[in-house]
Amino acid sequence: MNSTIPYGKQHISQSDIDAVVATLQSDYLTQGPKVQEFEEKFAQYIGSKYAVAVANGTAALHLCALALNVDENTNVITTPITFSASANCIKYCGGNVFFADIDAETFLIDIEKLKALIQSKPKGFFSGIVPVDFAGNAVNLEAIKAIANEHNLWIIEDACHSPGGYFMDSKNNKQNCGNSVFADLAIFSFHPVKHIACGEGGMITTNDEALYNRLLKLRTHGITKNPALMHENHGGWYMEMQELGYNYRIPDMLCALGISQLQRANEGLQRRKEIAKVYDEAFASNTNIVTPKYDAGHAFHLYVIQIEDRLDLYNFLKENKIYAQVHYIPVHTMPYYKNLGFKQGDFPLAEAYYSKCLSLPMYPTLTKEDQQYVIDCINKFYAK
């Protein structure tokens, strides 16, 4: 057994290191060819027309909100079971956040509750939806798109947990998470515990050329050097700041790492599914543990169980050098959002889920021996 077993962990290979070193020895450390190469290869992997690489997943969300003109008059719905950035990106632009409760089995935003929330307000009250592929479980974006079309809403898919994940649409077509067939924009994160690790980094995918061009500007101070988009052109040096943007660029070294990681993304995804199957089988007869329900398209960023005595099990695992985690504290219960008027009891299914959820170690380099040790410790806890 390793000295400690975290809930998630990056896998850095020699080929990753070689790719980064080669870029460090090249002419470009930022704004160079590796950025575009990563974008093109990621778009191909996901199945979108365009991809824009940025500093991190939160920057990706913020840029999406900016590109869709979120302001103080914009009302947007997301899920309370997500990392706070899924909601915060709307607040960054002055917009207003609303939540729809989750489905008790999938932990995803409940589509019927989403529909009811929209219908409870005057027509035109809401502008958009930020659905989340929580834990790697793909949201049915086709169903959400039908609602969005009816009420003229845009969609930002938060696919941070789900590169390689998918759902089957009503015509039995495989729809990859983030392919932007049903969403206006989708975003990914390359944090170390994610499927593709860059240290930090994010990606926005879209099939909308106008949004793509605007995102390119917004990530670089609102500046364009594209002659086709300029108002004037004074020469080869000329650039125009056309709107207020940000420095949300990602350096070439991190993109080189991302390109290398992408080459074994499918291999990592397959290993995650194998790990999930082992957990499923190990806990199938344990009445103390509710294992996740999922379809074939689950990407398994997380393997979340539900238990009644979470704190005791969490501490027991920690004593045995297993560092499980909780995903997530419902966003609406955070002090910032309570100050906006949300309160305990607003979303009972999300709160009930939070009271019992625990994420077990899940990453491609988790060895069979270490996973068995995790299982044995959990079984030992319940045998007391």
What pLDDT, in 10s, does the model give residues 301-328? 999 999 999 999 999 999 999 999 999 9
What pLDDT score does 1 carry? Answer: 60
Phi, psi (degrees; rounded to nearest 5) at 377: -65, -40
Q: Is there a single domain that holds both residue 135 and residue 201? A: yes
Question: Is the per-residue pLDDT at 2 higher than 70?
Answer: no
Alpha carbons 245 and 66: distance in angstroms, whole number: 9
Instruction: Look at the pTM and tell me if it is higher than 0.85.
Output: yes
**Do residues 371 and 244 both lie within one domain?**
no
Return the percent helix, strand and coil in the chain, to nearest 5: 40, 15, 45
Residues 280 and 363 in one domain: yes
| Region 18-26 average pLDDT | 98
141-187 residue pLDDT tens: 999 999 999 999 999 999 999 999 999 999 999 999 999 999 999 99
In sequence order, the β-bridge partners of residue 359 are 304, 325
Look over the chain and give the mean of its residue pLDDT values, rounded to a whole number.
Answer: 97
Domain end: 199, 234, 262, which one? 262
Residues 331 and 302 in one domain: yes
Predicted pLDDT at 10: 97
CATH of the domain at 223: 3.40.640.10
Q: What is the arithmetic mean of pLDDT over 295-300?
A: 97
Domain hosting 135: range is: 5-262
Name the token pair of 203. 């990606």
**250 and 274: one domain?**
no
Average pLDDT on 54-80 reads 98
Structure tokens at 343: 């309160």
Instruction: Evaluate whether 53 touches 38 at the Cβ level (below 8 Å).
Output: yes
Q: Is residue 384's pLDDT more than 90?
A: no
Q: Are 198 and 260 in contact (CB under 8 A)?
A: no
The number of domains in the chain is 2
- By the 8 A CB rule, do 8 and 363 touch? yes
Residues 6+ apart with CB under 8 A from 129: 76, 77, 78, 114, 144, 147, 148, 153, 154, 155, 156
Q: Same structural domain for residues 249 and 342?
A: no
At residue 82, the pLDDT reads: 98
